[in-house]
Amino acid sequence: MNTARQSPGKSVPFLLGNTSAVTGIRPLIFGMKWPLILVLLIGLDALSHQKLDALMNDEESMCVIEKISDSSICSDDLLVIYLDLGNAACAIIPRCHQFRRLLSQEWGEPSVQFVQAEKATNYVLIMVDPDAPSKENPKYRFWRHWLVTNILGKDLQAGVIQGTVLSEYRPPTPPSGTGYHRYQFFLYEQPDDNVISLNKQETKSFGCWDLDSFVSRFNLGSSVASTQLMTQNFED
């Protein structure tokens, strides 16, 4: 009887190992030429990768964008539209399709649309993070992410933000380990002949911004529309 022995510290090649592990396959393998065997193995490997890719695609296709139920800030008439994502108003940004990473690293400013805007009225758009550096310890509230004044109502109706930029758009970049952050958008009617600006202290930092004081200083009153989105660090 022909017995294959394995010396200590040495491995036995798969095709020459225990015949019970390859019953029915070994005779077939040894009856083939090596080029054909190689093609067969490559085909099996490709098939396994196709199954893995299909599984990943199934998971991606199940991507669900949850909505935030907070009527105190989420108004249905203010849309915040990002490339490839669509309307992110009152949404929790999911991990699938790399949405969180794209939001933080690649996408530019969103299209903000308010179809109820008065064409001849000017508006002020503000975007802030009230959860800086974390919701549990918001010692830098509010962190200013975007501030634009003199936005014509007709542009808002079309979702085009053109005006005087006092703070350039800064994408959501929540620090790792700080959980979800809220990124809030407020739209105000701008009083006629009201020149709005940041004071010297406000231009020194984006953090610890007194939003209420700013609104009061320029008589902006209550926001005409507002919304928010939530996301966390894309590596968490």
Which pLDDT value is given to residue 5? 40
Per-residue pLDDT of 161-204, as tens digits, reads 999 999 999 999 999 999 999 999 999 999 998 899 999 999 99
Which pLDDT value is given to residue 56? 43
- Residues 160, 163, 167, 170: what is their CA dihedral angle, to the nearest 10 degrees? 10
Beta bridge partners of 188: 124
Provide the pLDDT confidence category of residue 8 given band limits of 50, 70 and 90. very low
Question: Taking 50 as the threshold, does the pLDDT of residue 3 lie above it?
Answer: no
- Mean pLDDT, the chain, rounded, equals 84
Residue from 179, 89, 87 nearest 132 by CA: 179
Retrieve residue 30's tokens: 């040894």
Percent of the chain having pLDDT more than 90? 69
Per-residue pLDDT of 69-95, as tens digits, reads 888 999 889 999 999 999 999 999 999
| Mean pLDDT value across residues 41-60 | 52
Question: Taking 80 as the threshold, does the pLDDT of residue 55 lie above it?
Answer: no
| Mean pLDDT value across residues 26-34 | 53
